[in-house]
Amino acid sequence: MKYLLSAVIVLGLLAGAVWAQESDQPSTAAADTAVSADTVSVAPPAPVGNLRAYDSDNDHGHAVTLEWELSPDDGGGDNSVLMYEVFRWYPYFWDTVQEVRAELVTARQRRVQGTLDVEGDPDDYVKELVSRHTELLSTLPEAHEQYPDDGEFRLVRAVPAGTEKFEDRGPKDRLAEDFLPDYCDFYYRVDAVTIDESVRTPSQIVGPVQSYGQWFNTGRIVVLCFVLVFGLLTILFVQRARSGAELYVRPIAGIEAVDDAIGRATEMGRPILYVLGLGTAADVATIASFTILSRVAKQVAEYQTQLIVPTYDPIVMSVAQEVVKSAYLDAGRPDDYSQDIVYFVTQSQFAYVAAVNGVMLRERPATNVYMGMFHAESLLLAETGAIAGSIQISGTDQMAQLPFFIVACDYTLIGEELYAASAYLGREPVLLGSLKAQDVAKAAVVLFALIGVIVTTAGSSVFQNLFKVTD
Amino acid sequence: MKRQLPLALVFLFGVFMIFQYFVPHEKSEYVYEFLLDWIYIIGIFALALGIWSLFRVSVERIKLRKEGATYSYVALIGLYLMIAFGFTAATGDGGALSTSYYIWLLLGVVCLALVMRARAETASGRKKLLALGTLVFLVGFVLMSIFDDSWAYHFYTAEGLSNPMFRIFFDYVMMPILATMFALLAFFIASAAYRAFRARNLLATLLLLAALLVMCRFNPYLPGIDFIAKASNWLMNVPNLAAQRAIVMGVGLGMVATALKVILGIERGYMGK
Amino acid sequence: MQFFERLMMMDRRWVFLFLAAVCFFTYYVEYDVPIYVEPETERIYTFIDSLPEGDIILLAIDYDPNSMAELHPMTYTIVEHAWRKNLRLIITALSQNGPGMADQAIRDISDSLAMPATYNGVEYPAREIVNGEDYVFLGYKPYYALVILGMGQDFRLPFPNDYYGTPLDSLPMMRRVVNYDHVACVISLSSGTISDGWISYGQGRFGFPLFFGLTGVMTAQYYPFYGSGQLSGLMGGMLGAAQYEFLADNYGLARDAMKVQLPAHVIIILFIIMGNVGYFASRRRERLGGVS
């Protein structure tokens, strides 16, 4: 009854919240796609102003950014500007480079198809083209230095009216048609164009500007600071733990239940099923799962219970085999280890879960342990395990699957509890120390969030901008 | 050395990957892409290991006549058929497969089944008979591969993927089975909800009420549907959002910590002991 | 009281059986399910409905055949709505098994536009949908993050040709259409991690209006992005698709499926209530210490 009363109170709060709630929706600006073209003027528009060109920052090169002030006739004045056309100066030598490039690309394709018809060895022919192309590319900077002779302005891109910024970016692949070479002098011009394309006004020419790659992405400096601080914290707490400081970790029911579950399986004479999830060996959840598997396998070896580990990924299978084998060695039972304990099933999601369900219903394991990365199959596994009458312990960092595990399993490790399991199981000072560093970092995040809320509510975005990270 | 070398490699490559994130220069990108390519190469070799593992386990189950050995037959025959379809295609125009192609397939299946049966057989006489039968079918299989011109192997081109049987098995067997497995979720959600949504304590009661509220928004016939819809909307946009953000932050920090531990060699669970 | 205990411990196969029976029978019963439209879905409809003729929408069909049941109705209703309004579509399929399914859907929908229709009191004449003029289907390319980033520079970077092998530059619709600056919005229908890519690499970097259509299970996870404004609208599962169909006055797959989903939900709710009744009754019996 007392729970019912609590539930009624909560319902009342909910009703109050709904009643008080206004339907405020976050506002987002709709894209402005309208192009103003209601005034057709034959008079040439005013040019763009203050055209600037500079190397794009924080990239691998091959990009130049242009900025300008809108033409007075864009959205105002005669309102005749329909678009801007960006022109770049190309040396005529560029056409020669492009011809060789096209020939090389075609030759390579035909070489692969076996239809390259040349005198002599086709491979030698392709190699010769490659070296000629490389040589031509190396002389491009000299060709660009000939400006304004031996070249002309050509259209790069048209951008709609209202645009004040444009990035002339090319791929770093030297065989791409729109490759933009680094360390070459570029000259740009931006034309304001009306609805009649012949009626246009060019801007002043800017240049020379060169593109080049940066060695440090300054937009990610916040991330670097965080990584360094967090790394230092980890080392600090690990040192503290090594020097004997007592570090408290709250009990995690799911991990404590693993020992009991293994004991249950031994008493019942039924196997234990361990599922590593659908992640790869590079996923952090799978790495955390390996640690738990090691612990489970060691105990299973000691109790001489059967262990079944069907895997989704072949690399995970290889690593898991090593983990289990070492665990058996540690337990002093190397002869009990068999390579068939850990086996590969398939890399198809639902085919994998069908196979594991089949194992559950046939082998009737006493305990199912699901630790790792799971997707839609999580409930299929957990419910089938419940049908088979197994105790189920799960842990995943996939938020969408947590509700299913919580509902269908006896114990669930939520999110980072899975990562903490390795520290919790081993109780090694080194691992506990890193767990503490995590807790301190979390406390810092909460503090920053509170400060951010206060400062942003007060109308300032200074604090928010401190944490801006650009790509 | 056996332990130091993997740790050193993990440290070196881990530090490089961290370093690469902050260095946009194309030289660093080239090394990064080169390393990514290696992941695919390692993955392909690992896949071969995986298929061998599956094959061995299935064969072992058949040999020991374990419960569910029939499914191992199905797995092996399915594996064989899809490999055969993927690496073969009809010659000539139209791509239609000839009767001899199907006979060749059947010979392969029978051969495989007889081998499995022979391995499982304990009586010496029957074992020899089964082995002889396998040999006969195997010879027929090989001779047909060599002399039948109506189809051909395609190990280097993708023609096998347009093999009509490959498409039929993929579109009309695999896809419906996958969709069926996904559809099972609906029934399992019902049984899980029935089993788990009991008001055992305060938290369980809250969970129950929240679930009922969100499910009720699907039912426009209920009285007070406006309130229910607004309440469930509030639930999704406020408490759910808050909890999701909290878990995401915790998971993010946990990921960073675990990755750092692996790179620094503190976390060695993946290596075994 | 044994009845209540039996109720609490009822074999789950009864649940499966009831659910299957209800789904089977309601599929054949004709009735219309009233739909309550959520603001998140309405924002998507309103945005598309208010676009001027000729505007372009980028539709990313990023799901597998596994999730067809929930997301295909979204594809059908959005594409038909857009084409009836004479909007144009650039369609991609960044999921590996998606292109064939997406291609088939496009053909089906274009066939359905060969007949006139009336939606929300507005008569729409029959029209022919022409590839290259009314839509461009780009197909699939691996590494969705790179594709999303590349399309921000130029659609031709990851997709020099469309799905059928035609160079993009030769398609009338793609003239002067370069990147996200020239599309009104991006709608991603997804059942996996590709949605995260659209938020991080797409909307975060290029700032276009982004709308999601997701499976029911995933929807709760993306409310934070809707709350922060990174997503301009959100459609969740079959209900979201049915809401859109209701707004578009287009009775389609989702509203048909709601006939089944609604009773299914009612059955689940009834079973939950039954289970709780059994639970409380058995607890009461234990407290009283009685034996029936």
Contacts across the A-C interface (CB distance below 8 Å): 54
3-state secondary structure of A408: helix
CB contact under 8 A, B57 and A376: no
pLDDT tens sequence across A403-413: 899 988 999 99
Number of other residues whose CB lies within 10 A of the CB of residue A442: 17
List all residues of chain C from 43 to 72 with a beta carbon under 8 Å from chain A.
43, 47, 50-52, 55, 66
List of chain A residues whose C-beta atoms are within 8 Å of the C-beta of residue B253: 416, 438, 441-442, 445
A307 within 8 A of A272, measured Cβ to Cβ: yes
d(CA C31, CA A61): 62
Nearest Cα of chain C lies from the Cα of A375 at a distance, in angstroms, of 9
d(CA A21, CA C187): 29
d(CA A174, CA C51): 40
* Nearest by CB: A438 against B244, B254, B269: B254
Q: What is the pLDDT of residue A26?
A: 39
Number of other residues whose CB lies within 10 A of the CB of residue A465: 8
Lowest mean per-residue pLDDT among A82-86, A383-387, C132-136, C222-226:
C222-226
ipTM: 0.83
Q: What is the pLDDT of residue B217?
A: 78
A397 within 8 A of A416, measured Cβ to Cβ: yes
List all residues of chain C from 111 to 140 with a beta carbon under 8 Å from chain A.
none
List of chain B residues whose C-beta atoms are within 8 Å of the C-beta of residue C69: 179, 182-183
By a Cβ cutoff of 8 Å, what residues of chain C touch chain B?
10, 12, 15-16, 19-20, 33-36, 38-39, 65-69, 219-221, 223-224, 226-227, 239, 258, 261-262, 264-269, 271-272, 274-276, 279-280
Phi, psi for C46 (deg, rounded to 5):
-60, -40
Residue A110: pLDDT over 50: yes
* H helix runs in A331-398, sequence order: 349-363, 378-387
Question: Mean pLDDT across the stretch A458-466?
Answer: 88
**Predicted structure pTM score:** 0.79
d(CA B149, CA B126): 36
Q: What is the pLDDT of residue A4?
A: 57
Subunits that touch chain B (at least 3 Cβ pairs < 8 angstroms)? A, C
Question: Average pLDDT, whole number, for chain A?
Answer: 86
Across B189-225, b (16+ Cβ under 10 Å) vs e yields bbbbbbbbbbbeeeeebbbbbbbbbbbbbbbeeeeeb
Across C243-266, b (16+ Cβ under 10 Å) vs e yields bbbbbbebebbbbbbbbbbbbbbb
Q: What is the pLDDT of residue A76?
A: 83
List of chain B residues whose C-beta atoms are within 8 Å of the C-beta of residue A56: none
Mean pLDDT is highest, among A61-70, A252-261, B66-75, C218-227, for: A61-70
Same domain, C76 and C197: yes
3-state secondary structure of C188: strand
Q: What is the pLDDT of residue A129?
A: 93
Residue A421: pLDDT over 80: yes
CB contact under 8 A, A344 and B270: no
* Nearest by CB: C220 against B175, B197, B240: B240
Lowest mean per-residue pLDDT among A244-248, A359-363, B245-249, C273-277:
A244-248
Phi, psi for C252 (deg, rounded to 5):
-130, -155
Q: What is the pLDDT of residue A14?
A: 56
Q: What is the pLDDT of residue A136?
A: 94
Residue A16: pLDDT over 70: no
H/E stretch holding B233 reads helix B225-237
Q: How far is CA A360 from the centre of its chain?
A: 35
Residue B29: pLDDT over 80: yes
CB contact under 8 A, C220 and B244: yes
| Portion of chain B with pLDDT greater than 70, in percent | 97
List of chain B residues whose C-beta atoms are within 8 Å of the C-beta of residue C36: 217, 220, 225-226, 229
Residue of B nearest to C271 (CA): B194
Which of B36, B191, B238, B249 is the mutation pick for testing C, counting most C CBs within 10 A? B191
Question: Average pLDDT, whole number, for chain B?
Answer: 85
Q: Residue C287, class by beta-carbon neighbours within 10 Å (0-12 exposed, 13-18 middle, 19+ buried)?
A: exposed
Q: What is the pLDDT of residue A36?
A: 41
Same domain, C96 and C179: yes
Same domain, C116 and C150: yes
SS3 content of chain C, % helix, strand, coil (to 5): 55, 15, 30
pLDDT tens sequence across A329-355: 999 999 999 988 999 998 888 889 999
CA-based R_g, chain B, Å:
28
- What amino acid occupies position B129? L
pLDDT tens sequence across A36-48: 444 455 689 999 9
Tokens 């689940």 correspond to what residue?
Answer: C268
Residue A142: pLDDT over 60: yes
Find the domain containing C201 and state its range: 36-251
Same domain, C282 and C211: no
Q: What is the pLDDT of residue C189?
A: 95
Residue A7: pLDDT over 70: no
Same domain, C282 and C185: no
List of chain B residues whose C-beta atoms are within 8 Å of the C-beta of residue A441: 253, 257
B40 touches C: beta carbon within 8 Å? no
List all residues of chain B from 80 to 139 with a beta carbon under 8 Å from chain A.
none
Band (pLDDT 50/70/90 cuts) for residue A5 is low
pLDDT tens for chain C, 292 residues long, are 577 677 777 788 888 999 999 999 998 888 888 888 889 999 999 999 999 999 999 999 998 877 888 899 999 999 999 999 999 999 999 987 788 888 888 999 999 999 999 998 999 999 999 999 999 999 988 878 888 988 887 888 788 889 888 888 888 898 878 889 889 999 999 987 899 899 988 998 888 999 999 998 888 888 888 888 899 999 999 999 999 999 999 888 898 888 898 888 888 888 888 888 888 888 888 888 754 4
Q: What angle do CA C217, C44, C213 make, to 5 degrees?
A: 25
Q: What is the pLDDT of residue A247?
A: 77
Question: Mean pLDDT across the stretch A2-28?
Answer: 53
In this structure, the strands spanning A83-91 and A186-193 are antiparallel
Question: Mean pLDDT across the stretch A140-168?
Answer: 90
Same domain, C40 and C184: yes
Same domain, C59 and C203: yes
Q: What is the pLDDT of residue B26?
A: 87
Residue whose C-alpha is closest to residue A50's, from A245, A172, A203, A217: A203
Q: Please name each of the domains of chain A with its CATH number.
A: 49-209 (2.60.40.10), 219-246+430-466 (no CATH), 253-427 (3.40.50)
List of chain C residues whose C-beta atoms are within 8 Å of the C-beta of residue B236: 219-220, 223
Residue whose C-alpha is closest to residue A63's, from A175, A181, A153, A147: A181
SS3 content of chain A, % helix, strand, coil (to 5): 45, 20, 35
Residue A263: pLDDT over 80: yes
List of chain C residues whose C-beta atoms are within 8 Å of the C-beta of residue B237: 223, 226-227
Q: What is the pLDDT of residue C49?
A: 94
C125 within 8 A of C78, measured Cβ to Cβ: no
Which of B59, B253, B262, B263 is the mutation pick for testing A, counting most A CBs within 10 A? B253
pLDDT tens sequence across C254-263: 988 888 988 8
CATH of the domain at C114: 3.40.50
Q: What is the pLDDT of residue B233?
A: 83
Residue B101: pLDDT over 60: yes
Question: Mean pLDDT across the stretch B96-123?
Answer: 86
**How many domains does chain C fold into?**
2
d(CA A56, CA C237): 41
A188 within 8 A of A205, measured Cβ to Cβ: yes
Q: What is the pLDDT of residue A428?
A: 78
Nearest Cα of chain C lies from the Cα of B105 at a distance, in angstroms, of 27
Please give the biggest Cα pair distance in chain A: 94
Tokens 């029957």 correspond to what residue?
Answer: B126
Residue of B nearest to C36 (CA): B220
Band (pLDDT 50/70/90 cuts) for residue A471 is low
Instruction: Sketch the domain layout of chain B as residue ranges.
Output: 16-174
B224 touches A: beta carbon within 8 Å? no
Going through chain C in order, the beta strands assigned E by DSSP cover 56-62, 88-92, 117-119, 122-124, 135-139, 185-190, 210-214, 233-236
Subunits that touch chain C (at least 3 Cβ pairs < 8 angstroms)? A, B
Residue A30: pLDDT over 50: no
d(CA A206, CA B165): 62
Q: What is the pLDDT of residue A27?
A: 37
Question: Mean pLDDT across the stretch A368-372?
Answer: 95
Band (pLDDT 50/70/90 cuts) for residue A33 is very low
Residue A274: pLDDT over 60: yes
Band (pLDDT 50/70/90 cuts) for residue A18 is low
- What amino acid occupies position B126? R
